């Protein structure tokens, strides 16, 4: 009996929602078509969210009325009407804004895509949502929405060429968009005191994040800078149109979050976009940022180039204390002992610590810096001899060829989002990603942090990956001691927390020189990649002592030894690679 009653309640509530909805030509007719039109209509001006809210609210209200009215039909009907009205108000804001935005896109011929942010912070595109069997539940629990904007018309894009100045045309449509997102204005126009209060509270809690994106052509650092300036320009324009300053954040994401293939002009065009991310409150913003992942599959490999030999300019180096001679008994990297016995003695370990102590103290967990998946170059005041002009070193490796892979091991499948607004080609499987085959096919990628419009402060995130919060890591490779200070990675997206210090002590022998000066000392750019099993920490050495790049795979747990890695370096105009698995310096 109860089951039959509940079925009647669902049908009655659905009937309340479906009433007044017209069937779109070409869709299903009858009851099934009406249900689709009411709850999963692809038309952005449909009342999907409102009808879903009314259905859920109606069911809840009917059950409440049945309980309070002892199954009295009048009480049940009153409960259904009340619950439907409340649920409709909750969902109406989403539908109303999407419909209004679609009208702006049509008027100005903008390319506009919509996506919802689920309760766990993950993003689901409209096309995926329409196919989801639980679309109504996702919408009911969603914590935000994303609108992606592109202006591909002949009248110019959002901004004047190579600047962060909005075009006159863009000012007109961003004025219309600002009115859509202005909840205070909507509250003033509300017809009832309850509606006014609801919109006012929603406006006080709501957060808007403006994100600028570019393709991967040109300088990654300049792309990140320009995209940040443009995102801020849009945020400031929205503020002038009535959106409260303390609700808005901005980010220059540069090329780090592509949605399409950068190898084709059509894909690059899709990647040049502005996103408006609307979130219910601060907690929702945290969830969204923690769940966000780049689509690594769209990262284009760096152009192949013949390895340039390092500058053999020892005569131009500043005078330094006599260093130890090369060790003729040094074994190739493949023959080195296991991780626990990589340094010659405890004296060697202490010497490395002393060499690092002057430049790196223990670092406690810090706030999120302005650096995202790749760090901007930040060199110290080291001499030319310490930043790449030292003679090329031999790390005892083997030639890097197509038959011999230097792909990092221990990483597992990369964690990434499915593309929101484009199709995935099967060619983008992890095993075929050129940027992962070896670090020589990758290049540094830069992005700015999320910043508050009110004061420019970078949005805070304090949790670090266990073991990666400013520690020093070291290993000797073919007699050369390599030291990496200040290795710090945030758990969210494996974000780089600070730029490390990378040092090499050539032919290191603590018995002959306990306090040597480093042969190489640079502040390198770094890319980070988050995998199922580990984090790839990729250092770009820029030819220092012949080194092109260094891969280190860190476990996502608190291990004292890296789980894998390689050094890629040039020797006799050919690339070589040698295994590299550093350990934490004691």
Q: Strand pairing partners for 474?
A: 483, 583
For residue 472, pLDDT over 70 is answered with yes
Mean pLDDT to the nearest integer, 107-112: 91
Which tens digits make up the pLDDT trace of 279-329? 989 999 999 998 898 888 888 888 655 554 443 333 333 333 444 443 433
Q: Strand pairing partners for 458?
A: 451
Rounded to whole angstroms, the Cα distance separating 472 from 495 reads 18
- Strands (E) in 118-181, as ranges, are 123-125, 144-150
Mean pLDDT to the nearest integer, 473-496: 92
Q: Where residue 30 falls among pLDDT bands split at 50, 70, 90?
A: low
Helices (H) and strands (E) in the chain, counts: 14, 18
Which tens digits make up the pLDDT trace of 440-464? 989 999 999 999 999 999 887 668 8
Q: Where residue 33 falls among pLDDT bands split at 50, 70, 90?
A: low
- pLDDT value of position 75: 52
Reduced 3-state DSSP string for 374-387? ECCCCCCCCCHHHC
| Dihedrals phi, psi of 86, to nearest 5 degrees | -65, -45
Which tens digits make up the pLDDT trace of 503-557? 999 999 988 888 899 999 999 999 999 888 889 999 999 899 999 999 999 988 7
Q: Strand pairing partners for 583?
A: 474, 561
Q: Where residue 73 falls among pLDDT bands split at 50, 70, 90?
A: low
Rounded to whole angstroms, the Cα distance separating 250 from 207 reads 11
- pLDDT value of position 99: 87
Rounded to whole angstroms, the Cα distance separating 536 from 496 reads 11
- pLDDT value of position 493: 79
Choice among 40-44, 92-96, 195-199, 420-424 with the minimum mean pLDDT: 420-424
Choice among 78-82, 88-92, 497-501 with the minimum mean pLDDT: 88-92
pLDDT higher at 51 or 287: 287
Mean pLDDT of the chain: 74
User: Do the strands 207-213 and 248-254 form a parallel or antiparallel pair, or are they unpaired?
Assistant: parallel
Q: Where residue 465 falls among pLDDT bands split at 50, 70, 90?
A: confident
Percent of the chain with pLDDT over 70: 64
For residue 50, pLDDT over 80 is answered with no
Mean pLDDT to the nearest integer, 126-139: 83
Quickly count: other Cβ atoms within 10 Å of residue 141's Cβ: 12
Rounded to whole angstroms, the Cα distance separating 209 from 215 reads 20
Residue 116 has which token pair?
């919802």
Quickly count: other Cβ atoms within 10 Å of residue 422's Cβ: 19
Asked if residues 274 and 159 have their Cβ atoms less than 8 Å apart, the reply is no
- pLDDT value of position 398: 93
For residue 9, pLDDT over 70 is answered with no
């Amino acid at each position: 009996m109860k089951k039959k009653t509940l079925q009647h309640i669902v049908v009655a509530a659905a009937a309340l929602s479906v009433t007044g909805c017209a069937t779109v030509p070409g869709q299903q007719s009858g009851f099934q078509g009406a249900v689709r039109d009411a709850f999963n209509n692809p038309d952005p001006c449909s009342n999907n969210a409102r009808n879903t809210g009314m259905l859920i609210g109606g069911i809840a209200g009917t059950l409440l009325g049945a309980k309070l009215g002892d199954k009295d039909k009048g009480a049940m009907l009153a409960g259904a009407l009340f619950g439907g009205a409340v649920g409709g108000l909750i969902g109406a804001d989403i539908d109303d804004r999407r419909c209004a935005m679609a009208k702006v896109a049509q008027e100005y011929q903008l390319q506009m895509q919509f996506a919802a942010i689920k309760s766990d912070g993950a993003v689901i595109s409209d096309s995926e949502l329409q196919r989801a069997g639980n679309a109504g539940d996702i919408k009911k629990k969603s914590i935000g929405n994303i609108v992606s904007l592109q202006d591909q018309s002949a009248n110019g894009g959002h901004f004047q060429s190579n600047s962060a100045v909005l075009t006159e045309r863009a000012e007109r449509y961003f004025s219309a968009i600002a009115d859509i997102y202005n909840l205070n204005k909507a509250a003033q126009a509300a017809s009832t005191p309850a509606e006014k209060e609801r919109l006012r509270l929603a406006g006080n809690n709501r957060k808007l994040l403006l994100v600028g994106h570019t393709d991967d052509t040109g300088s990654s650092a300049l792309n990140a800078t320009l995209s940040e300036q443009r995102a801020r320009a849009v945020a400031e324009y929205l503020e002038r149109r009535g959106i409260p300053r303390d609700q808005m954040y901005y980010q220059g994401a540069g090329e780090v979050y592509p949605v399409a293939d950068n190898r084709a002009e059509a894909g690059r065009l899709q990647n040049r976009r502005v996103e408006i991310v609307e979130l219910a409150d601060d907690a929702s913003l945290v969830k969204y940022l923690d769940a966000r992942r780049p689509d690594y599959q769209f990262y284009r490999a760096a152009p192949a180039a013949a390895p340039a030999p390092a500058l053999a300019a020892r005569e131009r180096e500043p005078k330094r204390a006599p260093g130890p001679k090369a060790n003729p008994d040094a074994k190739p990297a493949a023959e080195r002992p296991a991780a626990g016995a990589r340094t010659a003695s405890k004296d060697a370990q202490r010497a490395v610590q002393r060499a690092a102590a002057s430049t790196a103290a223990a670092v406690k967990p810090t706030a999120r810096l302005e650096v995202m998946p790749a760090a901007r170059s930040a060199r110290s005041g080291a001499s030319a001899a310490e930043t790449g002009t030292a003679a090329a070193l031999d790390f005892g490796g083997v030639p890097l060829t197509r038959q011999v892979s230097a792909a990092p091991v221990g990483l597992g499948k990369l964690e990434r989002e499915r593309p929101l607004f484009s199709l995935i080609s099967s060619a983008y499987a992890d095993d075929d990603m050129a940027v992962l085959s070896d670090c020589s096919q990758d290049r540094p990628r830069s992005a700015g942090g999320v910043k508050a419009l009110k004061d420019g402060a970078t949005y805070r995130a304090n949790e670090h990956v266990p073991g990666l919060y400013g520690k020093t890591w070291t290993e000797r490779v073919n007699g050369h001691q390599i030291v990496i200070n200040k290795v710090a990675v945030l758990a969210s997206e494996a974000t780089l927390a600070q730029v490390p210090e990378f040092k090499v002590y050539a032919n290191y022998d603590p018995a002959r020189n306990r306090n040597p000066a480093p042969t190489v000392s640079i502040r390198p750019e770094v890319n980070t990649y988050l995998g199922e099993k580990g984090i790839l920490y990729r250092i770009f050495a820029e030819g220092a002592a012949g080194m092109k790049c260094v891969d280190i795979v860190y476990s996502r747990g608190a291990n004292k030894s890296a789980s894998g890695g390689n050094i890629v370096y040039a020797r006799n105009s050919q690339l070589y690679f040698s295994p590299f698995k550093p350990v934490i310096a004691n």
